Amino acid sequence: MEGSVFNTLLLPDLRQMLEEDDGPALKEFCEALHPGVAAEVLEELDTATAWEVLTHCGPKTQAEILGFLPLPFQVQLVQSIEGPQLTRLIEEMSPDDRVDLLERMEPEAVDALLPLLAHAERSDIRKLLSYPEDSAGSIMTTEYASLPADITVSDALQRVRKQAPSRETIYYVYVTDEDRHLRGFVSLRDIILAKPDATLAQLMETDVISVRVDDDQEHVAREIAKYDFIAIPVVDNQNRLVGIVTHDDAADVLVEEATEDQQRQGAVEPLEDSYLQTPVPTLAWKRGIWLVILLGASFLTAYVISFFVGEGDGATWMAMFLPLVLASGGNAGSQSATLIIQAIALRETALGHARHICFREVLLGTLLGGGLACLSVVIALTLVEYSWQAMVVGVTVFLVVLMGTVVGAMLPIGFKRLGVDPALMSNPLIAALVDVLGVILYYNIARITEAAVS
């Protein structure tokens, strides 16, 4: 069965179960499906209703499904859960997912929650929360399988069975001494293939590739990818095993880092959440800050041109601001295109969202265009002879940024609809289109204004 068609098929069923308050069916929904599939369907509901569904299964299943929901949704959902139910749920979550959630919650809510948790969980959380963001420690889990070196394979298998229910993976088993120093590594495959009376010491690999708890998460993810590991052990500076990072979290890191690099390349300050989950004011800030910096650079260009064309020298004053006007539109367009192309590639936006996206981008374009226009007028006044010339620059910047924002967002969606790879519609091509339209706007606005003032 195809994963991505699940939710369109299951959502109407789920709504009906809720309407009929069909407890056993709701329990079945939570427990029979892969938690990732259940999460995908629940995401389409509001958080209160999603929690209503989850109350029909045990805290273990709740925690599993919760781990597959996007973080902003998790935070909202958790707010609608009361005392003991919340405590049980948090205790059941895997340590790495739990810490990700707690880091995003209000500090007061976390402070209120921590004392209610069991001691073991509490100290585990405190420790994981203490590692710097983007370090190996911040993405690792403490639920690894470990064994001493001197036991036999058949003993090992017995012990792995006991550890299994609470461990993130049992396919890699780490061999440690009584002080938790990492001594070796053995895969479950090796254990299963070995003679029952062999010892782990005979079986284990002793040159274990590991990472340090303060290593950068990107380094960790690349090591896992390079060696095709299912998990990599994380050690402290005395080579004591403190956790493992699993392949799935490594893949998330790789995607996250690539997404961030792409956003930086498109002059967007990296977003914490996905495009559609990021509110417009946050987007305006993450984009605006770079547009302003780049406007400063364009002002420098205008200033340099002013040396060559002479201040206010007839029609040539327009040449001064031509690069500034076109760059503003091009940058805004490349920001929109970057975010929308990513949203399409990461499958976080269905094409049905096109109208919603368009509305957001028009709003953003107006905000960003308005802000940049005011700044441009102030800048232009220092370089031109007549204030109407500065007004021409301001009005053009406003319109060009608005146009760039909307065109940059809509073209990739249009291309996707036509079945063309939206990434092919590369940013510079959008910039080129914005250039042509920008020139037409600029010169026409100047003409009309000049005629009006003279």
By CB under 8 A, the residues from 171 to 200 that bind a second copy are 171, 188-189, 192-193
The set of residues, in sequence order, having a beta carbon less than 8 Å from that of 24 and lying 6+ positions away, is none
Contacts 24+ apart (CB under 8 A), 114-121: 116/83, 116/87, 117/87, 117/90, 117/91, 118/91, 121/90, 121/91
Binding mask 244-273 for a second copy (x = CB under 8 A): --xxx-xxx-xx-xxxxxx-xxxx------
Q: State which of residues 9, 195, 308, 417 lies at the interface with a second copy (CB under 8 A).
A: 308
Name which position in 282, 316, 366, 449 contacts a second copy (CB under 8 A): 316
Decide whether 52 or 256 has the Cβ nearer to a second copy. Answer: 256
Instruction: Decide if residue 92 touches a second copy (CB under 8 A).
Output: no
Residue 361 CB, nearest approach to a second copy (Å): 18
Q: Which stretch binds a second copy (CB under 8 A): 20-28, 118-126, 401-409, 417-425?
A: 417-425
Q: Is 397 in the site for a second copy (CB under 8 A)?
A: no
Contacts of 45 (CB under 8 A, 6+ apart): 14, 53
| Residue range at the interface with a second copy (CB under 8 A); choices 128-136, 272-280, 286-294, 398-406 | 286-294
* 133 near a second copy, rule: CB under 8 A: no
- Match 């993810």 to its residue by tokens: 221
Beta bridge mates, 232: 245
- The CB-of-272 to a second copy minimum distance in angstroms stands at 17
Identify residues 323-362 at the interface with a second copy (CB under 8 A). Answer: 323, 326-327, 331, 334, 337-338, 341-342, 345-347
Strand partners, 172: 187
Nearer to a second copy, 3 or 281 (CB): 3
Site for a second copy in 200-239 (CB under 8 A): 207-212, 218-219, 222-230
Q: Which of residues 361-390 bind a second copy (CB under 8 A)?
A: none
CA distance 44 to 343: 17
Q: Is 83 in the site for a second copy (CB under 8 A)?
A: no
Pick 279 or 310: Cβ nearer a second copy: 310
Query: At its nearest, how many Å lie between a second copy and the CB of residue 78?
Result: 21
In the complex, least distance from residue 48 CB atom to a second copy, rounded to whole angstroms: 25
Least CB distance to a second copy at residue 424 (A): 6
Number of residues that bind a second copy (CB under 8 A): 102
- For residue 220, the minimal CB distance to a second copy (Å) is 10
Q: Does 160 bind a second copy (CB under 8 A)?
A: yes
What is the smallest separation between the CB atom of 128 and a second copy, expressed in angstroms?
19
Choosing from 79, 198, 443, 449, the residue that interacts with a second copy (CB under 8 A) is: 443
Residue whose CB is less far from a second copy, 106 or 248: 248
State the pairing for strand pair 231-235/144-147.
unpaired
